[in-house]
Amino acid sequence: MKPATQDQRQRSVTFTDIEQAAARIAPYIGPTPLLENPALNERLGLRLLVKAEPLQQTGSFKLRGATNFIARLTTEARGRGVLAYSSGNHAQGVALAAKRSGILARIVMPTSAPAIKVERTRALGAHVDLYEHYYSNRDSYIEQVSRETGMLIVHPFDHPDIVAGQGTVGLEIAAASGALGLRIDSVFVPTSGGGLLTGVSTAIRERAPDAAIFGIEPEGHDDFARSIKLGRVVEGSDPGRPTFCDALKSPRPGNLPLSIALSQGLGFGTASDADIEPAMRVLAEDFRVIAEPGGAIGMAAALKRAKHLQDQVVVVVVSGGNVDHDVFCKAVRQH
């Protein structure tokens, strides 16, 4: 798939873009809650706030960017239909946003995608192609499909309308924490292509400029952190490493998110599958939130660093909850 155009790479995404995206998607998408558990706060020695995106329609934040993108399409573009690649969350976001607008949607998904994500995408009316070589050849394949069908590609993270839509998560965090009279100290964000991370950081930095914002990636899939260090798009240190974070396996960050992040002074970290399993259990038991592995990775990082976050106001973005029943039960039963 082609990355953002040169014009898109040159422009950033501003707080105003995110505010406009929030107004644009408001008729279709409601805010998700910022949850806390006083007993857990006492045990950890900090004030922990959970942004519960699994409670969003389609079960993840991805609906925000897809809705903002499709809302801005011309009549001609709508008539062509939309095309996307996704392991599941962007797929459902595009499928629902397209359905609401009466637009045809076709989604390319890996054969290894969780069954629940495939089933829910089809239930939303999208045509699903399961592609065996998804992780090695998806870009050229989806470009070929676009040429053959004329359908417009909706990139999952490398487009300003997508980043601005995802930034509404940060806008809601800033508003909800402000209403509580809280100053945010640290924010942990699940990170893959970077659309959520840079959208959230742009929104929060406007309201809490001193907040430390961390992008958290699966071990071995640290392509965003490595790209920041080198100043150019590169792959992770061990991209073939197995992980059950299917939502966070993009082989490299987007050009646009990387260009935004390079100017923001963000921090980065990783978490292993073994770190994430107890985080999924904490979310289920203490917040009644069902999180998929990639959605819980920020919580895993925050719990690992709790001793270094004492007395802070810490926000964890839980990005999604589309997890197969067996995967979830196995994870939480082991801890």
Residue spans of the chain under pLDDT 70: 1-11, 135, 335
Catalytic residue among 62, 117, 249, 304: 62
Q: Which of 60, 146, 186, 319 is catalytic?
A: 319
Could you give all domains of the chain from N- to C-terminal order, each with its CATH number?
Answer: 6-60+159-333 (3.40.50.1100), 63-153 (3.40.50.1100)
The single-letter code of the amino acid at 36 is E
Q: What is the pLDDT of residue 4?
A: 43
- Reference 84, options 129, 114, 46; nearest CA is 129
User: Is 101 considered catalytic here?
Assistant: no
> Is residue 254 packed enough to be buried (19+ CB in 10 Å), middle (13-18) or exposed (0-12)?
buried
Summarised one tens digit per residue, pLDDT across range 243-297 is 999 999 888 999 999 999 999 999 999 999 999 999 999 999 999 999 999 999 9
pLDDT digits (tens, 9 = 90+) for 86-106: 988 999 999 999 999 999 999
| pLDDT value for 11 | 66
* Whether 249 is catalytic: no
Q: pLDDT at position 1, please? A: 44
